[in-house]
Amino acid sequence: MIKRAAVEQSPIYTAQERVEYAVRAFMRERDFTEEQIKWLELIRNHLIENLTIDVDDFEYAPIFTRMGGMSKAKKSV
């Protein structure tokens, strides 16, 4: 409602729309390996559900721990 009052012509996006746009824009910046794309998809899904992400999420959120947590994510870089 506040955004609508501030900029009436600007559409209001859902969390999923905002995250999808940001991830697509980020992925256009360079090429990624298959493993990196898997991690980006996990991050995308986490952001859609939680709207935030923190370093601790990589160690405690099941979506990341199933893939090996922060240590595995760092190796994918």
Average pLDDT, the chain: 87
Domain boundaries in the chain?
14-75
Q: What length is written for the chain?
A: 77
pLDDT at 7 over 70: no
Side chain identity at residue 47, one-letter code: L
Kindly report, residue by residue over 51-67, the tens digit of the pLDDT: 899 999 999 999 899 99
Q: Rounded to 5 degrees, what are φ and ψ at 36?
A: -65, -40
- Burial bucket for residue 20 (CB in 10 Å: 0-12, 13-18, 19+): middle
**CA 7, CA 41: separation in Å to the nearest integer?**
31
